[in-house]
Amino acid sequence: MERDNRMRDGAYITGVPGATQLLFAGGETMFHARDARHITLFGLTIAGAGNRLTGGTPGLVYLRGVSSLAMEDCTIAESPRSGLVLEYCGGHVGTCGISGCKDSGLFSLDATGLEITGNRIHHCGNNGIQVWRSRKGEDGTIIAHNRIHHIKALDGGGKNGNGVVIFRAASVNVTGNRISDCATSAVRSNAGSNCQITGNSCERLGEIALHAESGFEGAVIANNVIDTAAAGISIANFDHGGRLAVCSGNVVRNLKFHEDGSETDGRGAGISVEADTVLSNNVVEGAPGAGISIGWGAALRDVSATGNVVRDAGIGIAVSVAPGAGKALIADNLISGARDGAILGMKWRQVATGDLTAEGAEAVPGIAIERNHVS
């Protein structure tokens, strides 16, 4: 790493926000620090200026092993890779602007007490904020009150195209963010146990807006607003260890199938859950598939769905009755304008029962259906 770019412990670099501009002239990185206790960056505009990063450096600003970072009122723009890369770092990144990065706006690996608050992250090539761990474990990063928008998936969807993506990082709190116009999801948590996704405003997402999947135990998805997405909320992959969640108080509306009308990858569904989950007091409106989907094949265990409102859906509530599916309680929900049936038993994508709210409807072992209101 070039000696001139290495910041030592205690480095304090300050400028005038919007006026102090530093243009990258090419090389391994613009700023780099390693194994420092305190680093402060304030009021700097750091621009890639169309030059390439050499030597495999992942970001225009690359900090590793900084235990107390204070980065505020800075701008990072036009990085040929990621904008800000933090490895084994703690501290605060706040009121910064990060845009035009080819990869991610901000990437954190193995954080040690990190807060990411009040930033503006937009027009990035793959992800807005990434919080990863090299192995599953407690992370504790707080991601709050950021504005994230126009995130593409230049390297393909799934792990890319997300406003916030969490991977193997436990106890991450994602709250009060405004996330819109992402190719894939607003928030995607993969194998992140005990994560909380609360109070976010999410609009115009290309796939599932809020997603907890694969190898997590413990998730809270509550009090979010989702408007216009392929699907609203998915708490999935019980077959890969995804279980134990609360999904409550969310408003989900204006969902869509593919342009050809297909519902692959859960498109058209409002809220989908699988195992050991309380699903309560949500409102779903305008889901061309199922307003609420409980279970997928044999992946259903101990779900309680109560007090939800489902309006203008294809199926009000779909519940798995496939071989091996477990128990569910569906009670005290209000279902209005479900075109294909209020509550239907499903075997994967195929309807397997009549409307289970109809008078004289067949009983399904393990599925308790009580006091639902249908109109």
Over residues 88-95, the mean pLDDT reads 98
- Three-state SS for 293-361 is EECECCECEEEEEECCEEEEEEEEEEEECCCCCCCEEEECCEEECCCCEEEEEEECCEEEEEECCCCCC
The per-residue pLDDT for 40 is 98
Q: Is 71 helix (H, G, I), strand (E, B) or coil?
A: strand
The per-residue pLDDT for 265 is 63
User: Considering the entire predicted model, what is its pTM?
Assistant: 0.95
Separation CA 237–CA 332 (nearest Å): 27
Over residues 114-124, the mean pLDDT reads 98
The CA radius of gyration of the chain, in Å to the nearest whole number, is 23
Q: What share of the chain is helix, strand, coil (3-state, %, to 5)?
A: 0, 60, 40
Q: What would the pLDDT profile of 43-65 be if each residue is shown by its tens digit?
A: 999 999 889 998 889 999 999 99
Backbone phi and psi for residue 263, each to the nearest 5 degrees, phi listed first: -120, 35
| Pick from 121-135, 227-241, 264-278, 283-297: least confident | 264-278
The 8-class DSSP code of residue 141 comes to: -
Over residues 317-330, the mean pLDDT reads 98
| Contact in structure between 183 and 208 (CB atoms under 8 Å) | no
| Contact in structure between 363 and 339 (CB atoms under 8 Å) | no
- Tokens 């779900």, located at residue: 303
In the predicted structure, residue 1 carries a pLDDT above the cut 60 = no
The per-residue pLDDT for 50 is 86
Q: What would the pLDDT profile of 150-181 be if each residue is shown by its tens digit?
A: 999 999 988 999 999 999 999 999 999 999 99
In the predicted structure, residue 2 carries a pLDDT above the cut 50 = no
